[in-house]
Structure 1
Amino acid sequence: MILLVTPTAVDSTHGNGVTARRWSGILRDLGHRVEIAQEYQPGRYDALLALHARKSADAVRAFRADRPDAPVVIALTGTDLYPGLQESGVDPEVLAMADRFIVLQRRGLAQLPPDLAEHADVIVQSLPPVPSRPQREDCFEVAFLAHVRPVKDPMRLAGAVRLLPADSRIRVTHVGEDRDESLSVELAAESAVNPRYDWRGAVSREAALAILARSRLLVLTSLHEGGANVISEALAARVPVISSAIEGSIGLLGEDYPGYFPAEDTRALADALYAAERDENGYLRKLTKHYEKLAGQVDPALEREAFRQLLDTLGVTTPARRVSA
């Protein structure tokens, strides 16, 4: 049995919850029994997979004390890696207890010292294709799927759409949970008076994907990401993204992706949005073409094979794939 520890409830819409559900499904599909918990639960486990080095540190310590010979894998999240391991408060002693690490995009490796990077695997988060939905005809809809937290820089997009010319038809549909009281008060007030911005609060993941699937663009304004689930979702939905030029996005989309703007630059974001709406110099078509080339990297078969190889490396025997009933 594999113990999968996640800092958030497994049924949550937070990124760690979404990841934990998907990874547990992959491990079970490979034939393993999986127990998901938010803290260490004593048991005869074959391995520990811990999401978030800092928040799951106690679970790693407890597991290593109880099961000194069983392998430990730590998945390093955005708030572990950025701005840096030390600045994020990650305990070096906890990192030393791990046999392998997972990062969610290529540039995550650069955040690790060489002795840790050589024991790290890049596993891109996957998603089956998301069927497209009819686009709204009354506007150029832009999706913003982000919980209200400072690291997501959630007021940036609201400020950018205020700078758009009067002839713009852009309307933002923002869904995401209230996770910061002062920011949420500010965002609710903005949504009430800004006709281009509609913050709808928390919705189910299915509802969020439906909004994404009908939108012309997705926007990501984050200051840091370890490898955003929402980019995988947009790739699966074939919806191009305009993203802050952060390491976590560049590691997924590539240095040559044309849809970046400097983080915290409201004017640059507004200009990129308007260029996409008007398809200036084929800008929206360039984004779409590039995204179509990248879509294959979120194939669930690739993520599943990456986990199979990881477990083989650790000597955790992978049983033959179970046949579904």
Structure 2
Amino acid sequence: MQRVTIVSPALAEANNGNWQTAMRWAHFLTPAYDVNISASWSPVTGSAPDLLIALHARRSAAALAAFAEQHPDRPRVLVLTGTDLYRDIHDDPAAQASLAHADVLVLLQEAGIAVLPPRYRAKARLIWQSAPALPHVPHAAGIDEFTFAMIGHLRPEKDPLTFMRAARLVAHDSARFIHIGGALDEQLGAAAGDTAEADPRYQWMGNLAHPAARMALACSDALVIASVMEGGANVIIEAVTSGVPVLASDIDGNRGMLGAGYQGYFPLGDAPALAALMARCIDDPAFLERLQAQCGARAALFAPQAEQAAVRDMVDNLLIARHAGTH
């Protein structure tokens, strides 16, 4: 059986989007291939796989370079993250080298190709991520609450401060704000604690296991994603496949997921604008229904069977080409 190694610098303990992608792809490729997930790869770690999939251009650069040098005839796939597309490939030599070492560059949202250097665009391939549908769980009868969820570890790239500031600007007593994610930045963790102390409507729940975070999202009325950069946020997909509308920072990575005409964007870092959108969701049922309909129109893109077919097709064809001598 042919072997595939997925290099993911983020492993299970990180509990982030990269790890979820690695796990999903490993599941999709098994049992057709012998798949393992590793934090890295080097010639001394054992026999080489038939194909290498690397997540993160900068953090997987050493593994990708070593595999390209030792086994130039074996195919290499690079999955580009948000920090890759919108930061590292423009100023980090290791990330730039990874673009050259890969045979295929996987983008997770449709706006990403325009960010790639033109000479690499022919290697680009769009694969939408997916999530199983988990039905929205409405509030119990008589409960007058509207819950906004933000899910993602507290780090500057996710801009959690905008969510915290917006929460304190929303005047509605019915509003609730749940914030899920570990504090990867000490100051952001302190800010979350201060916000919870100042406003009892805001609850920082810390790092939750993925199933618990997914259920909390399904029980929410809207997702907020305030990120500065995104390669294709899996949490957007989880919201869409649960019928939960999204309020998103107006950045390429979010537009590439939700579409250019989506009406739930707010300017990056603009807490008053986000607060106004939140208030509108509560006050204007027709607006909320419009966001739900726009998200629902994207749901078919994020079906697990479609992602599995795309991943299998890519790997199958790369290995067929290698054995045919055309790689």
SS at match of 2:130: coil
Q: C-alpha separation between the residues in 2 aligned to 1:90 and 1:62?
A: 12
Deviations, residues 40-92 of structure 1 (Å, cap 9, x unaligned): 13323111000001000011112122222101100010010114622355433
Q: Tell me, in whole angstroms, the C-alpha distance in 2 between the residues paired with 1:12 and 1:133.
A: 27
**Counterpart of 1:187?**
192
Tell me the TM-score normalized by structure 1.
Answer: 0.92
1:313 aligned to 308, 314, 317, which one? Answer: 317
Runs of 4+ off more than 4 Å: none
Name the counterpart of 1:17. 19
User: What's the counterpart of residue 323 of structure 1?
Assistant: none
2:306 corresponds to which residue?
302
What is the rounded CA distance, in whole Å, between the counterparts of 2:244 and 2:321 in structure 1? 38
Aligned to 2:76: 72
- Which amino acid counterpart does residue 9 of structure 1 have in structure 2? L
1:82-139: CA deviations, max 9, x gaps? 1462235543333211111101000111111122111111111101111322326242
Which of 142, 157, 161 matches 1:151?
A: 157
**Map 1:63-102 → 2, pairs under 5 A:** 63-83=67-87, 85-87=89-91, 90-102=94-106
1:322 paired residue number? none
How far apart are the structure 2 equivalents of 1:275 and 1:88?
41
> What is the correspondence of 1:38-49 to structure 2 with a 5 Å cutoff?
38-40=39-41, 41-49=45-53
Q: How does 1:119-268 map to 2 (within 5 A)?
A: 119-135=123-139, 137-165=143-171, 167-268=172-273
Whether contact under 8 Å (2:158, 2:229) holds in the other structure is yes
What residue identity is the alignment partner of 2:208? Answer: V
The alpha carbon displacement at 1:213 in A equals: 0.6
Deviation at 1:236, TM superposition (A): 1.3
Q: Is the 8 A contact 1:10 1:20 kept in 2?
A: no
Please identify, of 239-248 and 112-121, the stretch whose mean Cα deviation from structure 2 is larger: 112-121
Residues 147-174 of structure 1: per-residue CA shift (max 9 Å, x gap): 1000111011111122123x44111011
Contact 1:12–1:18, Cα closer than 8 Å, also in 2: no
Identical positions, percent: 38
Between the aligned partners of 1:79 and 1:243, the Cα distance in structure 2 is: 17
Structure 2: tracts of 5 or more residues without a match: 323-327
For 1:143 and 1:88, how far apart are their aligned partners in 2?
A: 33
Asked if residue 108 in structure 1 is aligned to residue 112 in structure 2, the reply is: yes
Partner of 2:33: 32
| Structure holding more helix per residue | 2
Between the aligned partners of 2:47 and 2:56, the Cα distance in structure 1 is 21
SS of the residue corresponding to residue 304 of structure 1 reads helix
Aligned pair in 2 of structure 1 residues 250, 96: CA closer, same or farther (>3 Å)?
Answer: same
CA 1:119/1:242 → structure 2, altered by over 3 Å: closer, same or farther?
A: same
Question: Aligned-pair distance for 1:312?
Answer: 3.5
Q: Deviations over 1:208-243 (max 9, x none)?
A: 111111111010010110000101111111101000
TM-score (norm 2): 0.92
Task: Name structure 1 gaps, 5 residues minimum.
Answer: 319-325
Supply the RMSD in Å over aligned alpha carbons. 1.7
Q: Which moved further from structure 2: 119-128 or 63-72?
A: 63-72
Supply the AA of the counterpart residue of 1:276.
C
Partner of 1:321: none
Give SS of 1:285's match.
helix
Given the superposition, is the C-alpha separation of residues 181 and 252 from structure 1 closer, same or farther in structure 2, using an over 3 Å criterion? same
